[in-house]
Amino acid sequence: MENLLKELQYIKGVGPKRNQDLQKLDVHNIFDLLWFLPRAYFNRANLSAIRDLPLDTSVNLQARVLSTAHNRTNRGFHIFKARLEDNTGVITAVWFNQPFLANVIKSGQEILVTGKVDSRYRDLQLHVSAYEILDDDTIEFNIVPVYPLSGSLNQKNLRKMMHFVLQNYLADYPEILSPDIRNKYGLIDIHTALQHIHFPESAETYLQARKRLAFEELLLFQLSLDKYHTQGQPAENCAIHREKTDLYRQLRLKLPFVLTDDQDKVLQEISADMESDRVMNRLLQGDVGAGKTVVAALAMAKAVASGYQAALMAPTEILAQQHFEAIQKFFAGSEVVIACLTGGTPLAERRLILQATLSGEINILLGTHALIQEQVEFNNLGLVIIDEQHRFGVRQRAMLSQKGENPDVLVMTATPIPRTLALTAYGDLDLSVIHKLPPGRKAVKTRYLSRSSRNQAYDFARQLIKLGQQAYVVCPLVEESEKQDLQAAITLYEELRNSIYAEFSVGLIYGRMKTGEKEMIMQRFKSGEIQVLVSTTVIEVGVDVPNASVIIIEHAERFGLSQLHQLRGRVGRGSHQSYCILLADARTEEAKRRLKAMEKSNDGFELANEDLAIRGPGDFWGVRQHGLQDLKIASLIRDIDLIRLSIEIAGHLKPEYIQSPIMDLYIKNKFKQSNEIARN
């Protein structure tokens, strides 16, 4: 493996200049070069004749260059053209904004091109997506790779480099799967896979190579998360929840509603985990309003009835305070002692909470990141609940768990995660899902309007406010920005208060406010004193005001689908028909696709799959996270079977194998971009 980490500038055919250009492509050593996968292939065994070229279909063509021309349009675009000829006819090939080609492609050259034929012009044109100049030094394969390029690199020298590395270093690449596993699951060996991903002999060999390398990535990703060392193993002195009182049963009987089938099933799964001699690590997914809070409250009741303390950590002070109020109501009439600790907790109150938590007087402690501070000590912590878990780093979640002796852990999210993404990023967690919303919830009606219809949107909301209902108005920034043409929250607040909604009470809330100010504003909004609340995305998660029936989202094109869905979830929580109005100047197809998806669906899981397809796994949560952006060939949309297989095999690998220096080196190099993120 160490041989594969050699710098490339000392490899035949590279040198300092090409090495510098390779580094721009994030290729730093031989290992990286082997994983520098082609973006396309030329199939010389499947060439088309000029006279038979179909329209609007990608074709491969080998021809001779008759002449070239280069011009520049009035708008400054560069157009390079080459007249190409084979023994069946002549066609014009066109390249856009590549003026350097005038010094590269010359009359008389033999050239291989890939592109689509466009018939919109007087003569047929071949719009080129890839090309290669053929000469005597061309490596002779029927199917040749086409790589991303940078600087001095071209396809010819990249193929020569790759050919040299495959011949001289491929044997050093470690095989991590035994012959038994490969035979059982129909996987080829890693050396054949790497050879055939770069120089496939046929479509079949390419697909075999892709399957093995996609599996290799997914397996290494699973191992990179350091989660298979203790998974499924009985833990010494772990919390085993055996109820000593009937608190759980009494609270469940007092519920003013009947739990849904999904909620009941999830509670059975959680109870079984809590009663076992293995540490619970469970992810609870549920769409906005699905009823996760009551499930969490009943889990805490089970912990307290078993003689343990419970802790719940939320990402914002607003959400922590809201959970505190909801949990207090849930346990009203019982002897359970509940407290809330945030960064804004007054010093004297904080001291009392710390003392009571350490003594065991406090049964349930809720809060923000303040819970993981060193001064916070528990007497007998048996259950840890993390709400909106993706807002916390891995280390932050672990720090709360470490305040007890192997407590059970339940992480929750109202951001629906596609199953493939959940299995990959959280393969160490058992999954529980609340699919259906409680009965009686009315679907929020969503409308996407251009910003030219802005007055119409505000007039519609005005009618609802006059009926006694309330409105949110959301925009993504607090201050004016030169880089982004967004309506700032403060400016919008002044506009609404002084002009558009001068007859109503308008409030403003944003992340940089002091805790006391936020709490006061939210309380005034909940009570109805504030009729219109202007906000940044600080209200994205968990805020619950049943009388709010309309939300207007300014510059909605700047948000991801999951975030838009979360914001929409702030309304539709009461008896009124609710509405979400998306004001946007959507100039890209991607933005239009997101907004139209919001209009069509209220299903968070359906939207999550669409969001994953649009943005990709690395950006799904709006931040780069968990090494998913390092996947070069595996697809979290189509490789569900390989994801399941990677989790299964990772769970059965021997711990000493996972912890070997060679495996650690292997994983760190494969996921070097985000290896630190995954461990922080």
Residue 262 lies in a domain: yes
CA distance 387 to 206: 43
CA distance 345 to 356: 15
The answer to whether residues 612 and 630 belong to one domain is: no
Phi, psi angle pair for 398, to nearest 5°: -65, -35
Sequential DSSP letters for 319-381: HHHHHHHHHHHHTTTS---EEEE-TTS-HHHHHHHHHHHHHT--SEEEESGGGGSTT---SSE
CA distances from 258 to 263, 371, 436 (A): 10, 33, 14
Neighbours of 275 (CB within 10 A): 15
The band of 78, judged by pLDDT with boundaries at 50, 70 and 90, is confident
Q: What angle do CA 653, 656, 661 make, to 5 degrees?
A: 110
Into how many domains does the chain fold? 5
The answer to whether residues 217 and 68 belong to one domain is: no
Do 324 and 340 meet the contact criterion of CB atoms below 8 Å apart?
A: yes
Residue 109 lies in a domain: yes
pLDDT at 360 over 90: yes
Pairing verdict, β 59-72 and 110-118: antiparallel
Do 10 and 28 meet the contact criterion of CB atoms below 8 Å apart?
A: no
pTM for the structure as a whole: 0.62
Helix (H) or strand (E) holding 71: strand 59-72
Sequential DSSP letters for 201-253: SSHHHHHHHHHHHHHHHHHHHHHHTT-SSSTT---TT------SSSHHHHHHH
pLDDT at 471 over 50: yes
Do 370 and 345 meet the contact criterion of CB atoms below 8 Å apart?
A: yes
Residue 268 lies in a domain: yes
CA distance 626 to 314: 20
Helix (H) or strand (E) holding 650: helix 640-652
Helix (H) or strand (E) holding 430: strand 430-434
The band of 261, judged by pLDDT with boundaries at 50, 70 and 90, is very high
CA distances from 191 to 172, 173, 176, 492, 631 (A): 9, 7, 11, 60, 19
The answer to whether residues 281 and 337 belong to one domain is: yes
Mean pLDDT over the full length of the chain: 84
pLDDT at 340 over 80: yes
The answer to whether residues 393 and 302 belong to one domain is: yes
The answer to whether residues 339 and 430 belong to one domain is: yes
| For the chain, the helix, strand and coil percentages under 3-state DSSP, each to the nearest 5 | 40, 20, 40
The band of 477, judged by pLDDT with boundaries at 50, 70 and 90, is low
The region of weakest confidence among 42-46, 59-63, 105-109, 180-184 is 42-46
Residue linked to tokens 């065994």: 45
Instruction: Report which DSSP code applies to 307.
Output: T
CA distance 39 to 148: 7
Asked which of 140, 172, 195 is the last residue of a domain, the reply is 140
Distance spanning both ends of the chain, measured CA to CA:
26
pLDDT tens digits for range 499-558: 999 999 999 988 777 877 888 898 899 999 999 999 887 775 557 788 999 999 999 988
Do 113 and 93 meet the contact criterion of CB atoms below 8 Å apart?
A: yes
- CATH code, domain carrying 90: 2.40.50.140
pLDDT at 497 over 60: yes
Closest CA to 670 of 116, 193, 26: 26
Q: Which two tokens stand for residue 281?
A: 């690590």
The answer to whether residues 493 and 411 belong to one domain is: no
The answer to whether residues 637 and 615 belong to one domain is: no
The region of weakest confidence among 204-208, 542-546, 613-617 is 613-617
Do 292 and 412 meet the contact criterion of CB atoms below 8 Å apart?
A: yes
Residue 228 lies in a domain: no
Mean pLDDT along residues 413-437: 71
Q: What angle do CA 525, 531, 536 make, to 5 degrees?
A: 65
Residue 476 lies in a domain: yes
Whole-number percent of the chain with pLDDT over 70: 86
Q: Tell me, what's the pLDDT at 529? A: 95
Sequential DSSP letters for 460-481: HHHHHHHTT-EEEEE-S-SS--
Residue 562 lies in a domain: yes
Closest CA to 208 of 222, 183, 184, 189: 189
CA distance 340 to 345: 8
CA distance 567 to 553: 8
- CATH code, domain carrying 522: 3.40.50.300
pLDDT tens digits for range 140-169: 667 888 888 887 788 888 888 899 999 999
Asked which of 434, 460, 480 is the last residue of a domain, the reply is 434
Rg from Cα positions in the chain: 30
The answer to whether residues 641 and 609 belong to one domain is: no
The answer to whether residues 255 and 188 belong to one domain is: no
The answer to whether residues 210 and 286 belong to one domain is: no
Q: Tell me, what's the pLDDT at 674? A: 47
pLDDT at 227 over 60: no
Do 7 and 169 meet the contact criterion of CB atoms below 8 Å apart?
A: no
CA distances from 194 to 29, 206, 232 (A): 16, 10, 34
pLDDT tens digits for range 277-317: 889 988 898 877 788 899 999 999 999 999 999 999 998 88
Residue 145 lies in a domain: no
Asked which of 434, 464, 481 is the last residue of a domain, the reply is 434
Q: Tell me, what's the pLDDT at 654? A: 65
All residues at 6 or more sequence positions from 669 whose CB lies less than 8 Å from its CB, including other chains: 4, 5, 29, 31, 32
Closest CA to 86 of 56, 55, 126, 120: 126
Helix (H) or strand (E) holding 22: helix 15-24
Provide the domain limits for residue 633. Answer: 626-679
CA distances from 119 to 62, 67, 90, 123, 204 (A): 20, 21, 15, 7, 33
pLDDT at 625 over 60: no
The answer to whether residues 196 and 288 belong to one domain is: no
CA distance 139 to 158: 11
CA distance 642 to 646: 6
Q: Tell me, what's the pLDDT at 673? A: 52
The answer to whether residues 421 and 309 belong to one domain is: yes
Residue 230 lies in a domain: no
HSE on the CB side for 165, CA within 13 Å?
Answer: 30
The band of 448, judged by pLDDT with boundaries at 50, 70 and 90, is very high
**654: helix, coil or strand?**
coil
